[in-house]
Structure 1
């Protein structure tokens, strides 16, 4: 089964550290402007999801949600979460550590696209 969202070792290490500190977590990446297109990490339940939000995947035991519009945009690619130095001034939990999550994407191969289509 192909995963739509992956994470680097750096991202997984940071996620684990933040889970130990805050408990259950959730990612959300909207389609908004500015920081709204940054993957943000919240304590589970701190951000209310609506009926059009989609769980695109899970990394480090943490669900990764996007808006329906963002899912349509990202459906042609695989996301890999990584970590970069520097605060970007969001409400995301890692901001207090002076780092931020970034989402890198790559397009699906034709074979992967066929497999994803079969998965539904």
Structure 2
């Protein structure tokens, strides 16, 4: 599976705190952002063994021990950005582990240098 040459993802302290809470409840997890409509446009958090990474998914980096993947089509649009995982009030995606916690993950982006 393709990987990026350097990490393009980081996290705020609020995101790390929510991630730690989820890991305490569910064990190791991963993030995937597909770019699809509705839930797919948000970073989704899944138990690591329950989500199959596709051959075209791109590893953007890790937050601690938690990998963050993006679907290849969305990566083509976002490849020149650096993402920061953050948390806001609200419900997470239907299948994401942040659902039901009244806080949800989202990404903020900055433009990176183009190589």
Whole-angstrom CA distance in 2 between matches of 1:67 and 1:80 = 17
**Aligned match of 2:45:** 41
| 8 Å contact kept, 2:86–2:107 | yes
Q: Which runs of 5+ in 1 are unaligned?
A: none
Pairing partner for 1:91 from 80, 92, 95: 95
Computing the radius of gyration over CA atoms, which structure comes out larger, 1 or 2?
A: 1
Decide whether the 8 Å contact of 1:26 with 1:41 is kept in 2: yes
User: 1:16 is matched with which residue: 20, 25, 28?
Assistant: 20
Aligned-pair CA distance for 1:60: 2.8
RMSD: 1.5
Alpha-carbon distance in structure 2 between the residues aligned to 1:68 and 1:48: 14
Query: 2: distance between equivalents of 1:3 and 1:70?
Result: 16
* TM-score, normalised relative to structure 2: 0.89
Q: Does 1:82 align with 2:86?
A: yes
Shift of 1:2: 5.3
Q: Stretches of 4+ moved more than 6 A in 1?
A: none
